[in-house]
Amino acid sequence: QVQLVESGGGLVQAGGSLRLSCAFSGRTFSYSAMAWFRQAAGKEREFVTGITWGGGSTKYADSVKGRFTISRDNAKNTMSLQMNSLKPEDTAEYYCAADRRRAAVIMTTANEYDYWGQGTQVTVSS
């Protein structure tokens, strides 16, 4: 059974930091590009950042460039998102996702991803 499990969300003040983790199991994700998406209340799910299977290439939404950093450790079956200089507009449910069809291309639309975690809430207070 394929599982992606996020952790690390919480409440933080503006300007603070959080580190999200995604643990994946059930299949070999080493050959899957992976990504973080987020969904704020009343809004569509949006791409935040993605990483290729080997970690050699990453992509970021303009809104998080320079503040967020994605990484992955295939040996430990984990992916992380370091979020610094958080803003109230970063408040959302954050989801990790895996693309079973592509390893070296990072897609930015949610429907291109096959596996999803349950989400972890990030709330940034002003």
Q: Is 112 helix (H, G, I), strand (E, B) or coil?
A: helix
pLDDT tens, residue by residue, 32-64: 999 999 999 999 999 999 999 999 999 999 999
Q: Band the pLDDT of 2: cuts 50, 70, 90.
A: confident
Contact 113, 1 (CB under 8 A): no
pLDDT, the chain, mean: 95
**What are the residues facing 31 on neighbouring strands?**
none
